[in-house]
Amino acid sequence: MRTLVISDLHLGSRLGRDVLRRPDVLDGLLGALEGVDRLVLLGDTVELAEGRPRRALAIAEPVLRAIGARLGAQRDVVVVPGNHDLALIRPWLRAHGGPQTVDARLPADAGPTLARVTGWLAPARVTVRYPGLWLADGVWATHGHYLDRHLLPDSAYGVTRGPLARRPVDRVTPRAYEHTRRRPSLTRAEARLAGVLPTPLARMAADALELARAASMPQMARRRTARRWSRLTVRLLGVQMQRASIPAIAHVAQRLGIDADHVIFGHVHRLGPLPGDLPERWTGPDGRPRIHNTGSWVYEDILLHHAGPAHPYWPGGAVVVDGDGPPRAVALLDHLPSL
C-alpha cells in the first residue's frame, strides 16, 4: 500500500498563505495522488483557529471536494485533526473526555463541522483518527501539537522544558496531554491576532512572531532580523526545530508508549529529513525512532523571501510510506518556480 501524508494545509487562512486555493497548486497535489492508495491529512487541514470558520470552510470546500473526487470511491483518506482544526472534533473530545488510545477512531460525523468536511471528501472512503494512527508496522503518524507541552513557550518552536534526551519513566495516555493545564501559547496568540487585526497589522504580527521564534535561539540574542535576513531565520529555525521540536516529539511518542521505528509529524512546517540534514538530529534517544516531517502547504514570506524551490520551508511537502520501506520526504511543488 502506498500512503501519501500531507499536513498543515491551513485552508482558509485569512492572510491567504494557503497555496492550495491556487488552481496550479491544487493540480500539483491532485497529480501526486495518482498511484496513491491512501491519503492522510495529518492536521491543520482547515484554518479554524482564527475565529472565522465560515470563511475558512468556504475556501476549503472546493479543494476538499476536488481531492475526494480524484481519489474516488475505491481509495481512502484519513483525517487527523491538529491544533488549528481541533474544532472539528471538539464536541467529541468534550463528550468523551479526550481520546483513550493513540489511534482512536472517531465517527465521521463526530461534530457538525467535521461532518461537513468528511462529506466534501466523498466519494473517497473517509475515516477520522486522533491523536494519530499507525500507518504500517512500526510507523506512527500524528500532527505533533502535543510537543508544545515540552517547549517554552507553548508553541511549535521554543526551548526545551527539562531533559528530553532521557527516556521518560512515566507513561501517560493522550488524555493527559489534552487535559494539561494550558499555559500562554505563542501559536494560539498568532492565530487569534491573524483573525482580529486588520490585514496589514496581522501580517506584521505574524512576521514578528516568526522572528520571535528565531530570536529564541542563543545565536540571535540582542540581534535584529529583517526579511532580507530570511536565510538566517530559516537556518536558525531549522537548527532550533532539530534541537528542540524533534526531541520533544520523540519524548511525546515515548511517553505515550509508542514503540515505533518511525514517527511522522507536521506542525513545524519544515520538510525533512532532507539531503544534508544530520541523521542523528532526526532520531530519538538511542537512535530510535527515526523522525520525519511533512512540511506544509503555506507560503510564509518571512522564511521564503527571495527563495525558490528545493527549500525546506517551500510549500508542497509530503511524506510517502511505500509498503515496508522507510518513510521518505518528498517535495511536490518544486516544479513551480514561484508562488
Q: Is it the case that residue 298 has pLDDT exceeding 70?
A: yes
Is there a domain that residue 59 lies in? yes
How far apart (Å, rounded) are the C-alpha atoms in residues 63 and 66?
A: 5
Those residues with Cβ within 8 angstroms of residue 276's Cβ, 6 or more apart along the chain or in another chain: none
In a domain, 270, yes or no: yes
Q: How far apart are CA 54 and CA 248, in angstroms?
A: 34
Rounded CA-CA distance 279/287 in Å is: 9
Q: What is the pLDDT of residues 99-116, one digit of tens each?
A: 999 999 999 999 999 999
What is residue 7's predicted lDDT score, i.e. its pLDDT?
98
Tell me the pLDDT band of 80, cut-offs 50, 70 and 90: very high
User: Total domain count for the chain?
Assistant: 1
Please give the average per-residue pLDDT across 203-226, as a whole number. 48
Residue 291: alpha-carbon gap to chain centroid: 13
Task: Tell me the per-residue pLDDT of 27-60, one tens digit each, with 9 for 90 and over.
Answer: 999 999 999 999 999 999 999 998 889 999 999 9
Residue 76, CB half-sphere, CA atoms under 13 Å: how many? 14
Residue 96 lies in a domain: yes
Nearest residue to 252 via CA among 144, 103, 162, 98 = 144
Picking from 298, 310, 236, the residue whose alpha carbon sits closest to that of residue 272 is 310
Find the range with the poorest average confidence among 280-284, 288-292, 308-312, 319-323.
Answer: 308-312
From 4-8, 48-52, 157-161, 221-225, the region with the lowest mean pLDDT: 221-225
Question: Over the chain, what is the mean pLDDT?
Answer: 86
pLDDT the model gives residue 218: 42
Q: Flag whether 32 is in a domain.
A: yes
In a domain, 263, yes or no: yes
Residue 217 has pLDDT above 80, yes or no: no
pLDDT-based confidence at 124, cuts 50/70/90?
Answer: very high
Instruction: Decide which of 222 and 18 is more confident.
Output: 18
Higher pLDDT, 221 or 8: 8
In the prediction, which pLDDT does 323 show?
84
Threshold 0.85, pTM exceeds: yes
- For residues 201-209, give the mean pLDDT: 54
Span 3-15, average pLDDT: 95
Residue 245 lies in a domain: yes
User: 144 pLDDT exceeds 70?
Assistant: yes
Domain hosting 233: range is 2-331
**Res 99: pLDDT:** 94
261 contacts: CB under 8 Å, gap ≥ 6? 138, 139, 288, 289, 290, 326
Q: How confident is the model at residue 192 (pLDDT cuts 50, 70, 90)?
A: low
Q: Is residue 69 part of a domain?
A: yes
Cell of 138: 512500526
**Of 294 and 285, more confident:** 294
For Cα atoms 300, 78, 134, give the angle at the middle one, nearest 5 degrees.
100
| Rounded Cα–Cα distance for residues 156 and 213 (Å) | 9
CATH number, domain with residue 321: 3.60.21
Instruction: Tell me whether residue 336 is in a domain.
Output: no
